[in-house]
Structure 1
Amino acid sequence: MKSLQERGYDWEELKRSKAWEDRDRYLDVFVDSDSRMYRDITQSQKILINFEGALILSFVSFSYSESEVDDEDDAVVASEEEESVVEDIVYISPTPSGNVYFAEHFDDVSQFNKKWILSEAKKDDIDDDIAKYDGKWEVEAPMKNGLNGDLGLVLKSKAKHAAISARLDRPFKFNVKPLVVQYEVNLQEGQECGGAYIKLLSQGKQTADLRQFHDKTPYTIMFGPDKCGNDHKLHFIFRHKNPLNGTITEKHCKKPKDRLEEPFKDKLPHLYRLVISSDNTFTVSLDHKVVNEGSLLEDFTPPVNPPAEIDDPEDKKPADWDEREKIPDPEAQKPEDWDEDAPVTIPDPDATIPENWLEDEPEMISDPNAEKPDDWDSDMDGDWEAPLIPNPRCEGADGCGPWKPPHINNPEHKGKWRAPLIDNPNYKGKWKPRRIANPDFFEDKEPYKMTDIAAVGLELWSMSNMILFDNIIITDDPSVADAWAAETFDLKRKKLDKDGESLFSRLVNYTNEQPWLWAVYVIVIGLPIVLILAFCFHCIEKEEQRRAAEAKKTDAVTPDDEVLQEEVAKPTKSKSQLEVQEVVEEGAGDVNEEEADNEEANKDEVASADAGDAPSSPKKRTSRKE
């Protein structure tokens, strides 16, 4: 091991450092309380440990002083930020700015009652007692973790049809600007089965009276979460109008790649956003993170544009069309020695009856101790027979009764013969109907231009209640939606993070602001762990060497010897041999006592001297019997 001078360190400077004064406290981390184990550490190792402690303490002191001097302004700013976080988060009902078609924060109950309309319609084709939209809606604060003064629209009932809607300030027309739809949902009781989506109702005669809003009211877009069982969905459906015949078809967006289970069970507010651009692209975001995106032309089922060609529905496969690639060889013949009737298994011809098999003894015998019941009626019950019991004579035998050899696989068994397959000379391939031009073909290159939107509605059926909707906004500018979220949803998440922040998370956040602290943690925590492990392995190795040395210079029984004595049979000894053994063990004990009194520096010399005296000890000492 290199000395400190060889490593380039000043010994006198090290001894004058403050860390050197605290070396005993630092060594307590690494050195066991057993003084014998501490003596096993060499002097150079003690110096190394003391120096490492000095290095760590000096680095921490330097880092702290440097940060305190150089980052004084940053510390002032950080303290001001910390004071602001401690204060309660203030919520003020947001006022939308920019080009907004609809905005609702539900904080003003009187305005809500003027704007929103409950449905009075009934669903078709179902019983009257469940056809009504009689679900209960209330404007109230969240059940927990709400901001002071923040209210939302809550679906209070479950297993009931509920519908409510409000008209936009002005219809949204799909011209050039994007459509941005954003709203919050909090499944305060989780979700078993049901939806929390919104419908953007199409402009037209059927949406003129929102009191008749029901499940078949035309909509342009349906967007939002939905769940039943293990099927978690984030819907984006738009209704496309066929330019040829005017028929309407629902187009369903592809599923997101990531699973979206957490919003259905964490009982926290979540922010949903849909953006549809004039270039026929879309993005779906959850809590400001894009979870789905794509093209209106390519990522919907069924596709917007039908295929240019289709299979001819009038075309039929010819009767002589052979689709078989392989056929049995017509010229193949079954071999003469092929026995299709040979059994799968046969009795083993080499098996012999065991010697202890009692063929004349039955396996079961009548119970000799059984007696016919007194109420036994032979006319009604038949002749009485004693119950059977296992034959006691068969208990020690290999078996009783007739012996049969075991079965083995029959080497002659081949099964049913089949002719080998060959290529079909008449194979024509898989038949397909011919393709013809699609009479219903059209090409809509701008599916973005959907039906104008006149209103927003919630038409739901859910097996969970207390579903809270909040902060709905429809605009054509994503920055307007960002500002709206910053004044609403972002404050809620900030409050949740503040309420759930632990000491550890605060430490991590502060460390992220001061990245140099990670290096301090690695050195202060990681380096001592490495040194402790190295020291422990060193002590274990020293202990094994010490035990091995003691085993060589003493005849006393060690734990390994005890195990060997249990496994190996002990030889018989005469009385005189036992007396000699007793004298030898007493001599060995004296040797051990003498070794314990000697200094550790002379262990090898004393060990060699004692090892030479041990065989002569029976001559110097006599047994108690003698």
Structure 2
Amino acid sequence: MHFKMALFSRKIYLLGAFLVLVNAISVVHSEEPKEKDGDDEATVETVEEENVYQSPKISPEKVYLAEHFDDEAAFKKKWVKSEAKKQGVDENIAKYDGKWAIQQPSRKIFKDDLGLVLTTEAKHAAISTLLQRPFEFKDKPFIVQYEVTMQEGQNCGGAYIKLLSRGTNTRADLRKFYDQTPYTIMFGPDKCGNDNKLHFIFRHKNPKTGVIEEKHSKKPTQRLDEIYKDKDPHLYTLIVRPDNTFSILIDNKEVNSGSLLEDFAPPVNPPEEIDDPNDRKPDDWDEREKIVDPTAKKPEDWDEDAPAQIVDPNAVKPDGWLDDEPEMIHDPEAKKPEDWDDDMDGEWEAPLIDNPVCASAAGCGKWNPPTIPNPNYKGVWRAPLIKNPNYKGKWKPRRIPNPDYFKDETPFRMTPVHAVGFELWSMSPMLLFDNLIITDDLAVAEEWAQNTFALKRAKISRDSQTLWGRMLRAMNYKPGWWALYAVYVAIPIVAYIVCLVRRANEDSVFDRAMRFAGDNPWVYALLIVVTFLVVGLVAYACFGSKSDSDADMKKTDAVVEDDPHLSEGEAEAEEELKEEAERPSKADLEGPEVDNDDAEVITTTEEVADTTPLVDTEGAGDGQRKRKPRRE
């Protein structure tokens, strides 16, 4: 009997191990569907699902760059991973070896909606691309907009974007992108510890000295802590207008605004007057407002040696004071512990307790009269202060005209932007960027957001109202691991219950069924197949898409009628024709492709029409930005 029970228990545990293995394979397959490409540019996640949503499309004439990161082929052609090294850090961590990948969000919202993900942590990472045509700061506003999803939250690191200045014109220049590469604007969130920022920095060139200086915008008035914690996608928009005003929006809500002339530090225009650096304070200049009275003398009856406290001469010892009784006595009821070793612990003494005799008396022990403040105490004598008859006030150097003074009334006319890139370091992995657009038309940016970000937030809002959505949020959007944990915990419980039932019913129906299965081995094969089907259904329930009407929504540039159902081949052929017709050629996107450092600079019709630069960009890069020290 014991042998049979042991054999049965072994079968139960083997079956449980099989369930755990199948479930673990399901979890790994669901949460790690990544493939590495061969050119070391980036890894691309391939997901084969039906009902793939339509990526947004927009006319190239309306934008300088529109990137949704859904097209793997276009991404590889346009974006270039940096091969440079960061300056001012240890050689072992100077290389930009952070990993970029095209992936679905860890919390899938739409099928085949992909994004650019920084998958590594504590590594420098940089990637960039050229604009379709340079942006010239003339008479149209500059608008940059993109989404950030901090899928694991953010402890320390940035998610900002750099708009690179003229001079970064070729793919060879993009491969050299690093922290010192000149940029025109830097914009986006940055956090380390409790210090969180929403950067808007632009580089301004002094027209007289030629020095390029960073101008930092004022901080937003409202707190922005939640964007680093909620793990939801957020939309960041920067609008810089020709009238020198700017606006910063998060999720289409304004969080900061102001003027390029008034709301930046240091200010664009220096002061008209400065302190004379050659002016010196005269030797006889007296800044003391009060001085010690030279005519004051200490009074003859002033006793500096008198104590502050004296014994009260009127104090009398209370009646009933017991001078011979101590305040504390040894506890007469205490006993020496049995394990007390005098050689090791020393001589034992009973603990002290309050003398019970003193409880009813006025006091015990030697009586001392109390002290009182000394009426004759005056302390150390000091001469009084009087007004200084020679006081001339606080000295200040004279003011002179600022030799470096200038007045720039149009700081909006910045260095033209030729490229855009992410140059980051983060202690939190899985930063996802999506739906980047650069344009000069606010309506275009709003339409792009409506066809991308607005659909995501609406879907998230609907999902959060369902029971399944609330459960996913509570499980941090990783239900597979929770299912695996539940199966793992249930195995010993089920095995124990089965054993108890077996022992309670020695010849039960279950017992006869097991004997029948022992005589007919094909029953075990059938049981394994059924178990596999059950586990497959559980895996599908945990990881499969929750198909509903919302999953079929498509992102488009305009409201259209539902397309008639086409065959799979016809639909794919029509989609390819549309993408081929609307997609700009490689030459339009990048200009002539070259791989050497002496490559010809890419130009456009607009550049030829006006080749005179508004602001010169020759000079050094931005230098090391001041920020709190971070552990590399």
TM-score by length of 2: 0.61
Structure 1 pair 91–326 and aligned structure 2 pair: CA distance change class (3 A): farther
- 1:134 pairs with 2:104: no
Cα deviation, 1:384-443, whole Å, max 9, x if unaligned, reads: 998895666545433332211223333333333333332221111110011122222222
Contact 2:342 2:348 survives alignment (8 Å):
no
Q: 1:106 aligns with which of 29, 49, 69?
A: 69
Report the secondary structure of 2:288's partner residue.
coil
Q: 1:198: which partner in 2?
A: 161
Unaligned residue ranges in structure 2 (runs of 5+): 1-50, 468-632
Is residue 468 of structure 1 aligned with residue 432 of structure 2?
Answer: yes
Aligned mates of 1:345, 1:194 — CA distance in 2:
62
- Asked whether the equivalents of residues 149 and 431 of structure 2 are also in contact (C-alpha less than 8 Å), the reply is yes
1:171 to 2:171 alignment: no
Mapping of residues 260-299 of structure 1, within 5 Å:
260-299=224-263
SS at match of 2:361: coil
Amino acid across the alignment from 2:253: K
Q: Greater helix share, 1 or 2?
A: 1
* C-alpha distance in structure 2 between counterparts of 1:256 and 1:179, whole Å: 20
Quote the residue 1:228 is aligned against: 192
Partner residue, 2:150: 187
Query: Take 2:255 and 2:285, find their aligned partners in 1: how far apart are those partners?
Result: 50
Taking the aligned partners of 1:409 and 1:493, their CA distance within structure 2 comes to 75
Corresponding residue of 2:125: 162
- Change in Cα spacing, 1:149 to 1:370, as seen in structure 2 (3 Å) is closer
Q: CA deviation at 1:365?
A: 6.7
Tell me, yes or no, if structure 1 residue 304 matches structure 2 residue 296.
no
Instruction: Look up the match of 2:365.
Output: 401
Alignment of 1:505-524 (within 5 A): none
The answer as to whether partners of 1:91 and 1:491 remain within 8 angstroms in 2 is no
Deviation at 1:142, TM superposition (A): 1.1
Q: Is the 8 A contact 1:370 1:386 kept in 2?
A: no
Supply the distance in 2 between the matched residues of 1:206 and 1:313 (Cα, whole angstroms).
Answer: 43
Return the alpha-carbon distance in structure 2 between the equivalents of residues 200 and 193 of structure 1.
22
Residue 110 of structure 1 deviates from its aligned partner by: 1.0
Q: Using the alignment, how far apart are the partners of 1:211 and 1:407 within structure 2?
A: 84
> C-alpha offsets along residues 283-325 of structure 1, whole Å, 9 cap, x if unaligned?
1111111111111111111111111211111212112111122
Deviation at 1:209, TM superposition (A): 1.4
Q: Describe the SS at the equivalent of 2:318.
A: coil
Q: Is the 8 A contact 1:223 1:237 kept in 2?
A: yes
1:195-233 deviations in Å (ceiling 9; x for gaps): 000000111168751011111111111000000011111
The answer as to whether partners of 1:206 and 1:218 remain within 8 angstroms in 2 is: no
Distance 1:91 1:412, change over 3 A: farther
Which letter does structure 2 place at the counterpart of 1:417? W
Structure 1: distance between partners of 2:359 and 2:148: 75
CA distance 1:278–1:409, shift in 2 (3 Å): same
Letter in 2 for 1:276: V
2:277 equivalent among 283, 288, 313: 313
- Check the 8 A contact 1:116/1:164 in 2, yes or no: yes
Paired residues for 1:463-502 under 5 Å? 463-501=427-465
For the aligned residue pairs, the C-alpha RMSD in angstroms reads 2.8
DSSP 3-state at the match of 2:456: helix
Tell me by how many angstroms 1:194 deviates.
0.3
Deviations 1:132-161 (A, max 9, x none): 111111111111151222111011010111
**1:351 Cα deviation (Å)?**
2.8
Aligned equivalents of 2:168, 2:438: Cα separation in 1: 22
Encode CA deviations 1:159-196: one digit per residue, 9 max, x unaligned: 11111001100111111111001000010111000000
Q: 1:486 and 1:347, CA in 2 relative to 1: closer, same or farther beyond 3 A?
A: same
Q: In 2, Cα distance between the equivalents of 1:193 and 1:182?
A: 23
Q: Partner residue of 2:379?
A: 415
Quote the residue 2:423 is aligned against. Answer: 459
1:529-549 Cα shifts (integer Å, max 9, x gaps): xxxxxxxxxxxxxxxxxxxxx
Equivalent in 312, 317, 326 of residue 353 of structure 1: 317
Which residue number in structure 2 is paired with residue 44 of structure 1? Answer: none
Q: Is 1:147 aligned to residue 100 of structure 2? A: no
Deviation at 1:122, TM superposition (A): 1.1
> AA paired with 2:62?
N
Give the distance between the partners of 2:78 and 2:124, measured in 1 at CA. Answer: 21
CA contact (8 A) 1:145 1:496 kept: no
Instruction: After TM superposition, give the deviation of residue 375 of structure 1 in Å.
Output: 7.3
**Within-5 A mapping of 1:226-625:** 226-363=190-327, 389=352, 393-394=357-358, 396-501=360-465
Q: Distance in 2 between matches of 1:348 and 1:409?
A: 9
For normalisation by structure 1, the TM-score amounts to 0.61
Cα offset for 1:125?
Answer: 3.4
**Is the partner of 2:214 in helix, strand or coil?**
strand
Shift in Å, 1:128: 2.6
Distance 1:95 1:217, change over 3 A: same
Distance 1:356 1:471, change over 3 A: same
Q: How many residues align?
A: 409
Q: Structure 1's 246 and 283: CA in aligned 2 closer, same or farther, altered over 3 A? A: same
Partner of 1:519: none
Larger RCO of the pair (alpha carbons < 8 Å, separation 6+): 2
* In structure 1, C-alpha distance between the alignment counterparts of 2:173 and 2:341, rounded to whole Å: 90
Letter in 2 for 1:131: A
Match of 1:92 among 30, 47, 54: 54
Cα distance in structure 2, aligned partners of 1:132 and 1:385: 69
CA shift digits 1:542-583 (9 cap, x unpaired)? xxxxxxxxxxxxxxxxxxxxxxxxxxxxxxxxxxxxxxxxxx
Measure the CA separation in 2 of the matches of 1:242 and 1:321: 38
Report if the CA contact (8 A) 2:169-2:419 is conserved. Answer: no
Q: Which residue of 2 aligns with 1:115?
A: 78
Q: Distance in 1 between matches of 2:377 and 2:156?
A: 59
**Quick one: structure 1 residues 145 and 355, their matched pair in 2 at CA, closer, same or farther if it must change by over 3 Å?**
farther
Identity %: 65
From the CA coordinates, give the structure whose radius of gyration is larger.
Answer: 1
* Distance (whole Å) between structure 1 residues aligned to residue 188 and residue 312 of structure 2: 72
Which structure 1 segments of 5+ residues have no match? 1-88, 504-626
SS in 1 for 2:200: strand
Structure 1 residues 145 and 331, CA, compared in 2 at 3 Å: closer, same or farther? farther
Give the partner amino acid of 1:149. D
In the TM superposition, residue 363 of structure 1 has moved relative to its aligned partner by 4.2
1:78-109: per-residue Cα shift (whole Å, max 9, x none)? xxxxxxxxxxx995311124521011000111
Question: Following TM superposition, by how much is the alpha carbon of 1:339 offset from its aligned partner in structure 2, in angstroms?
Answer: 3.1
Change (3 A) 1:374 1:221: closer
**How far does residue 356 in structure 1 lie from its aligned partner after superposition?**
2.5
What secondary structure, in the 3-state scheme, does the structure 1 residue paired with 2:461 have? helix
Matched residue SS, 1:209: helix
CA 1:421–1:90: 2 relative to 1, 3 Å: farther
Q: Distance in 2 between matches of 1:454 and 1:344?
A: 80
